[in-house]
Amino acid sequence: MKKLAIGKLEGKSAIVTGSGRGIGREIARMLAREGARVVVNDLDAEPANETVSALEAEGAEAVACVGDVAAPDFGERIVAQALDSFGGLDIIVNNAGYIWNTTIQKNTDEQWYAMMDVHATAPFRILRAAAPFIREAAKRERAEGRRVMRKVVNISSISGTMGAATQISYAAAKAAQIGITLTLAKEWGRYNVNVNAVAFGSIATRLTQVWTSEKATVNIAGKTLAVGHSAESMDELSHLTPLGRQGSQEEAAGAVYLLCLPESDYISGHVLVCSGGLNM
């Protein structure tokens, strides 16, 4: 096992939902490389365990909490996992999510609630479950004359800040994440918690892949969902983006990483747009 150097997050423990693959996996890696112990989550056991093994191979401490973030008991379960495994909780990254796109006339109630459940209700439940520990820890640290900063980063989207055609459910849920962020920044400032959001633009993941000979789909929770773009629409999107391309998963994770470091200790209630300059 490779030994990590002392990092800026040494001794911290983190929850990163949706971290078995994609952007979430890169977030978990970046936090772990700075010394954080990480609770890895994915809907499926295989990617979650693979990420845990990869982090451990680099000398980090990590555990898996497999399951659907939208399950009613999940918030309590993942917070308990962090406290039982690491004895504390310092960083919460609400990253898990997916897209389910249609125009409004085709948008079903099931689709609406699925987007709300994963992008808004799940983060709410996780943060609510973490509240007792955060309040008591802050009270104890204040009595000891110490100030310990904790971090919450909610993953939103420019669909939530500006809207996007065919994404009414997704955009509404991502906008709700921003409301959660701004409200909790006001409630939890007294507990020394920085609460911010990152709104992604077009990032290269399995959900935004370019179609080849036929449209792409993914299977999520038993549903086969259309994802990605045609080459023509991707070219148009890249043209509209000042940096001229999609962002990488590492670049997306880097925006979250910045808001977890001690250098961001006086940044709270902020929505950081990570879009390569795309603003439409």
Is 170 marked active-site? yes
Catalytic residue among 98, 170, 191, 257: 170
Q: In whole angstroms, give the CA distance from residue 9 to residue 158.
A: 29
**Cβ atoms 55, 31 nearer than 8 A:** no
User: Which structure tokens are listed for 147?
Assistant: 């100030």
First to last CA, the chain: 47
Q: Hey, which residues are catalytic here?
A: 170
